[in-house]
Chains A and B, each alone.
Chain A
């Protein structure tokens, strides 16, 4: 029985990882056809870096991810504090609207944004792509920061003010350190989501500006190519690295908090997926 269980778990993991492994292994294959292995090569990576289109997509992907997650974190941080101090009714309204982009199918979010941009005669391109990414990033930032605000001692801020701190000083030196883990988690979450997004970007970008996902899609539609394998490998490795960083951060944070509070506090932020939205 025990053996059967282990075998079942192993089998599932094998199925989960086999395609990715195959993808990675065959990105080093000399031959263009996948069926046979003809020799080790890095030529697909070399060609990848020679490809103008892919390099520009890489540039836009990273630029959009950095800018959109930074802006989303700033707006989201302000909004979280605002929402937190609101009365029940407006708070609920804000949170419900905040949930719309998370719950709505990606394709509907993408299309509604595209309709908005075309309706307001904005040229689809870098700006619209950036605005869309900020829009779908903010809700996740807020969902990472709000629990931290709830855990915080309500009177900390007042105590700081009583001791003569200015509101800005109190925010910077008292509130921010308390909620910083949530802010950083939110930022990293937003960054990864933006890096990974396909559907919304697909609808809200214009000619000349595309991200890596869009390139993979348009290449894959034409069939399989070892260049995409190479690209996939690089993307997989970078997501993996990011994930490890986030996870180490979060487990440190949790154990720290546990040590501090002397009890197990609810870990809200177990890594859940962006994909429900995908």
Chain B
């Protein structure tokens, strides 16, 4: 079947709808409309160096890192338990992890709004136990909570898939050679599961750093992340140049983190979900 021409319609489609849009964004990020027409400028990128915007970038990265850390700490043991031999009905368990992932992320986020509200369920429950009320909706903690809730499955699944593929005889050999549980974990299991950990980190960090829905709904619009900033430039300030520059920066950030992760990934990254 030698029919490369069948891909040509899609090649045209890709040029129009994938490549040209990205070039346009790049173009807007380095030009400015003046009286003499379009001019090359780096002023949009320069504007980003303002402490206010740098702070937004740092906040986005820090919150995403915190979220990634929490996901790793919670998700690794979870994946390990699911992958362990004694745990049966794995298929159902995996299905149970996947289901919330397929649910619209807006709904998952909205669900937390109803829980965390001032008069919400969590607070009614707390006051029923005569515990102090918790007002964390519209704070950074709520944003991190929402991120962890949304992205935890992305951490669990790749780690699980790597852990369940580990050859059990390797572990037995280590035990026969006198390694205690901790040594076996540190020297055998963890290094072998590293590809999964790395793809988990990538898959949690990236959506976390680019989100604008979670921060808008659970952060109440006051904790601006880089996604919110981009949205604002296009939809309310109408400053396409700056918005495009921000998009380019975000793309670079993603590219860099992927590059870093790829360097650590072993040749056959068994953790990939695809």
> Which residues of A does B touch, CB under 8 Å?
2, 5, 8-9, 12-13, 15-20, 22-23, 26, 33-36, 75-76, 78-87, 90, 94, 97-98, 100-101, 103-108, 111-116, 119, 131-132, 135, 138, 142-143, 157, 175, 192, 196, 198-199, 203, 213, 216-217, 220-221, 224, 228-229, 232, 235-236, 239-240, 243, 247, 268, 270-276, 278
A79 adjacent to B9 (CB under 8 Å): yes
- Which one of A2, A16, A22, A112 contacts B247 once the chains associate, using CB atoms below 8 Å? A112
With A78-B9, A82-B4, A131-B17 as known contacts, state yes or no: A107 contacts B212, CB within 8 Å: yes
CA distance A35 to B126 in the complex (A): 11
Identify the closest chain B residue to A149 (Cβ): B1
A198 adjacent to B104 (CB under 8 Å): yes
A34 adjacent to B117 (CB under 8 Å): yes
A85 adjacent to B3 (CB under 8 Å): yes
A8 adjacent to B154 (CB under 8 Å): no
Chain A interface SS verdict (over half): helix
A101 adjacent to B18 (CB under 8 Å): yes
- Residues of A within 8 Å of B2, CB to CB, are 85
14 residue pairs bridging A and B, Cβ less than 8 Å apart:
A5-B87, A8-B78, A35-B124, A106-B210, A108-B210, A111-B243, A111-B247, A216-B104, A220-B110, A220-B217, A232-B107, A236-B103, A236-B107, A274-B102
Instruction: Report, nearest first, the 8 A-B pairs whose CB atoms are least far apart.
Output: A82-B7, A112-B21, A82-B6, A79-B10, A19-B111, A105-B210, A272-B273, A35-B124
A221 adjacent to B216 (CB under 8 Å): yes
> Which residues of B does A touch, CB under 8 Å?
1-11, 13-14, 16-22, 24-25, 28, 74, 77-78, 81-82, 84, 86-87, 93, 95-115, 117, 119-121, 123-124, 149-154, 157, 161, 203, 206-207, 210, 212-213, 216-217, 227, 230-231, 234-235, 240, 243-244, 247, 250-251, 254, 258, 273-274
With A8-B78, A111-B230, A272-B157 as known contacts, state yes or no: A85 contacts B1, CB within 8 Å: yes
Identify the closest chain B residue to A97 (Cβ): B14
B231 adjacent to A75 (CB under 8 Å): no
B149 adjacent to A19 (CB under 8 Å): yes
B227 adjacent to A107 (CB under 8 Å): yes
